[in-house]
Each structure stands twice: as C-alpha cells, then as structure tokens.
Amino acid sequence: MKLNILLAITDEEQKVYKNLVTDYIKFFKGSQGAFRGEKKTYTPKEGTVDEPTKRNLVVVQTTVAEKLEWYHDTASKYINALFSQEKTNASGVSKAELVVDGVVWGEFTSLELLRLKSLVDNGNVLELYSNIPVRSDGEIWNATHEEIYEGREVYQTPVVSSVVKTTTKESYILADPNIALLKDASAYKPAIATKDTIVELGDATSQKFSGEWSQRQRAEVLKRRQTLITAVTEALKKANEAEAIPSELTAKKIFGYLHEGVVR
C-alpha cells in the first residue's frame, strides 16, 4: 500500500473511531438497562384467580463482552492504519523494546510509542472504560445456563421462590350471654368482630440476569491501562536515548536563503 493511500484511510477512519468512542461512552452511561434481564414466574393455587402481571421476562439485550468485541472490530482498521503510518514515517533509529507487565511486545520506534501513549492515555478512552456497566457485588452471580443466553457472557442470580398471600376479612357477631336477661332487646346492638384469614394465592419466583462485568473485571482493565501507560513511558525514555542524527536542513541554509538569497 502506498503511503498516500494509507494517510487517506487513517484520516477517514479517525472520524469513525472518534464517533465510536463518543457513542460507547453515551451508551455505557445511559443504557445500562440493556445489559440487565429478569425472569418472574407465578403459578396460582387451585381455586384462586390467576394474576398474569406477576409473570415477567426481560431479556438481556447485549453484554459488555459483545460491545467490547464490536469496539475492537470497528476500531481495528483505524488503529492498524495509524501505526502503519507512524512506522512508515519513522526513521527507524530511535527504537526501544516495549515490556508490559514482564512480557516483551517487540521493538518499536519512538513515533509508534508516542502514538500508543496518546491512544491509551486519552481522556475519552479512560472515560469509556470507567463507565463499563458492572453488576452488584451485593448479590450472588453465576454463569447462566438459560438456553436464550447460550454462548453469551450472561450471569444470573439464584432463583428466589415465594408464596403470594392475601388476607380475607370475615365479620361475625360475638355471643352475649346477658342478652337473655334483657326485658326489651329491641334496642340491643350486638358486638361485631372481624376475623382475618390468610389465603395462599400462588407460588412465585424471581431471578435477575446480567450481561454486565464484575467490579473486579472493570478494575483490572483500568489497572492494565495504567500498566501499559507506564511501560510505554519507560520505553520512550529508552528510545530517546538514541544519538541524534544531524539534519542537512540547517538554520544556515534556511535563513541564508531567506535573508540573503544564498544557499550555504
């Protein structure tokens, strides 16, 4: 590929990447409900009225894993073109090994390292990862085996079972042994009491689903981001220790021509 074509691709894909990051920040902040699901069931007891409103199914629309995979796939063209551009433009003299968390990634030029630092240390990228939706640590979550989520990174809480009950009230007259002693009972008002009876209406279950990450996963991504920034900074220091190569495009030539019309 010619450099001019590579430059055109980089410029065009930069807009796509910038919009992608902005959209992801907005989605992670405002659409956390898309990562959450729920299933409620209800079975009425024999002889009771069914209550369909106690049943509910909310399907997890997407997962963090799926969103980040799409982010990776969509951004790849820009990232690959970007670093190919820097590699092409680099002199190849100022180089250093990039060692991240003890693993050697390879030898890169100072321009590649600068571009990598700019990419990872970007405020929008930090905001994106900081806003990855996470599920509550106050609940127990396990990988789900629900068929509708097969092959997806979805977690579930244990099924919570309960019995739906109601209270019926029954009024009755209290027996009064003194009524027989009254000469005229026409004005007598009997005492009325109320009896409460608990009736079981049905059996219900409730369960939550989530395509969110755990708090630890998000924390580890942010930690790895910082580890990468530190490693790039160290590699840049080593790369910049290379001997400078004097350029033939000197101030003497530039100003000699501008000021005197003479090329020295």
* Residue at 177 is within a domain: no
pLDDT at 148 exceeding the cut of 80: yes
Identify the pLDDT of residue 23: 95
Task: Count the neighbouring beta carbons within 10 Å of the beta carbon of residue 121.
Answer: 15
Helix segments in the chain, DSSP class H: 3-30, 64-89, 110-120, 123-130, 215-239, 251-255
Round the average pLDDT of the chain to a whole number and report it. 89
Q: Give ∠ CA 211-215-218 in degrees, rounded to 5.
A: 85
Q: What is the mean pLDDT of residues 235-242?
A: 83
Q: How many residues does the chain have?
A: 264
pLDDT at 241 exceeding the cut of 70: yes
Question: Each residue of 48-82: pLDDT tens digit?
Answer: 999 999 999 999 999 999 999 999 989 998 988 88
pLDDT at 246 exceeding the cut of 90: no
Question: Each residue of 152-203: pLDDT tens digit?
Answer: 999 999 999 999 999 999 988 887 777 766 767 667 778 888 999 999 999 9
More confident residue, 209 or 262: 209
- Quote the number of domains for the chain: 1
Identify the pLDDT of residue 150: 95
* Residue at 161 is within a domain: yes
DSSP labels, 218-261: HHHHHHHHHHHHHHHHHHHHHHTTSPPPPPSS-HHHHHIIIIIS
Identify the pLDDT of residue 235: 93
* Residue at 182 is within a domain: no
Burial letters 23-43, b for 16+ CB under 10 A, else e: ebbebbeeeeebbbbbbbbbe
* Residue at 103 is within a domain: yes
* Residue at 17 is within a domain: yes
How much of the chain exceeds pLDDT 90, in percent?
62
> What single-letter amino acid sits at 16?
V
Identify the pLDDT of residue 244: 64
Identify the pLDDT of residue 98: 94
Question: Each residue of 124-134: pLDDT tens digit?
Answer: 999 999 999 99
pLDDT at 252 exceeding the cut of 90: no
How much of the chain exceeds pLDDT 70, in percent?
95
Q: What is the mean pLDDT of residues 84-103?
A: 82
Question: Each residue of 13-29: pLDDT tens digit?
Answer: 999 999 999 999 999 99
Task: Count the neighbouring beta carbons within 10 Å of the beta carbon of residue 124.
Answer: 11
Domain limits for position 89: 3-167+205-260
Query: What is the 8-class DSSP label of residue 151?
Result: T
* Residue at 190 is within a domain: no
* Residue at 153 is within a domain: yes
pLDDT at 142 exceeding the cut of 90: yes
pLDDT at 245 exceeding the cut of 70: no
* Residue at 113 is within a domain: yes
Paired strand residues for 199? 166
